[in-house]
Amino acid sequence: DALIGLSNINSLRGEYDEALRLQEYAASLGDMRAVGYLAEMFLQRHAIPSDADADADADVTAVNLATVSATLQTRNTVASKVLGNYFWKGKGGLTHSPVLAKHYLRYSAESGDRWSMFSYATVIIEAAIGCYGCLSLRPGFSAVPEALFWYRLAIGEDSDSGAFKRLEEKIRDCCGNCHEKLNKDKLLCCVECKAAFFCGKHCQRAHWNAGHKRDCVKSLKKRLKATEDSLMMACSGVLEVARSYGVEPTNRNKRP
């Protein structure tokens, strides 16, 4: 515990080499938390599968370490990101599986990793097409609202390129309920997901009751907000403890 604590304090101070040395020593003594930390250090460098065959061994190592890390710490953001991306790409000895990629990427996306958000949005669409044979817009069975939600979080509301932007333009063309051509000056949209458009309030209500309430991200946004609030409380507690020891955390972007 003392070694792990000293390593964490050195990390907060920006002294990463010393933090790593202490973690390696703790791991050599059999501390599984330190093993998980060292695995995470490797995974940070191999979170995205390489296209080069020469890196195949590193890909396998990344998958193995991610599995170990996920076992040691069930909700491990980095391990989830690795397993999600490698299942998506079918690398590191894993079989391509959008369903399993979606399962793992969800947690890393919800933890705030922007790359995972974009990957998760893409995998949501891919998994839906694999399930239904097409990208269904049928209320209650549409993956579009959630996929666009994560895409916008990852890229930004003002992005004007890519397949997701073309999808946004497509769903604006006709009413989500009656499928009539929309007058773009008078259309209504779901204010929660901004992924369903209507010619009037009657169609909007009918579409919601037909199943859009299951597709919409309204409940997802509430859950993420609750998670964010709890994380902010936890982080403030950690900072208070660090500062009580005279430690002022450095900018995380400086971490190698």
Q: What is the pLDDT of residues 32-65, one digit of tens each?
A: 667 666 666 666 666 666 665 556 777 787 777 7
pLDDT: which is higher, 239 or 196: 196
At 197 the three-state DSSP class reads strand
pLDDT: which is higher, 69 or 207: 207
Classify burial at 59, counting beta carbons within 10 Å of its beta carbon; exposed 0-12, middle 13-18, buried 19 or more.
buried
Burial annotation 175-193 (CB, 10 A radius, 16+ → b, else e)? bbbeeeebeeeeebebebb
Q: What is the pLDDT of residues 116-149, one digit of tens each?
A: 899 999 999 999 999 888 888 899 999 999 999 9
Which residue bears the tokens 């994380």?
Answer: 231
User: In this predicted structure, what is the pLDDT of residue 199?
Assistant: 92
The answer, yes or no, to whether residue 215 has pLDDT greater than 80, is: yes
CA–CA dist 105, 112 (Å, integer) = 11
Which residue bears the tokens 């929660």?
Answer: 192
User: In this predicted structure, what is the pLDDT of residue 33?
Assistant: 67
CA–CA dist 9, 248 (Å, integer) = 10
- Phi/psi for 85 (5° steps) reads -70, -35
Specify the amino acid at residue 248. Answer: E
The answer, yes or no, to whether residue 252 has pLDDT greater than 50, is: no
Classify burial at 57, counting beta carbons within 10 Å of its beta carbon; exposed 0-12, middle 13-18, buried 19 or more.
exposed
CA–CA dist 108, 115 (Å, integer) = 9
User: Residue 174 is encoded by which pair of tokens?
Assistant: 């006709």
- Return the closest-CA partner of residue 60 out of 77, 84, 37, 83: 83
CA–CA dist 216, 194 (Å, integer) = 9
Mean per-residue pLDDT, 3-20? 69
E strands within the chain?
188-189, 197-198
User: In this predicted structure, what is the pLDDT of residue 253?
Assistant: 40
- Return the closest-CA partner of residue 12 out of 204, 188, 238: 238
pTM: 0.72
User: In this predicted structure, what is the pLDDT of residue 229?
Assistant: 62
Which range of 53-57, 68-72, 91-95, 225-229 scores highest in mean pLDDT? It is 91-95
Distances (CA, A) of 26 to 5, 44, 65: 11, 20, 17
Mean per-residue pLDDT, 75-100? 85
Query: Alpha helices of 156-217 — where are they, by DSSP H?
Result: 163-171, 201-207, 213-215
User: In this predicted structure, what is the pLDDT of residue 43?
Assistant: 66
User: In this predicted structure, what is the pLDDT of residue 85?
Assistant: 86
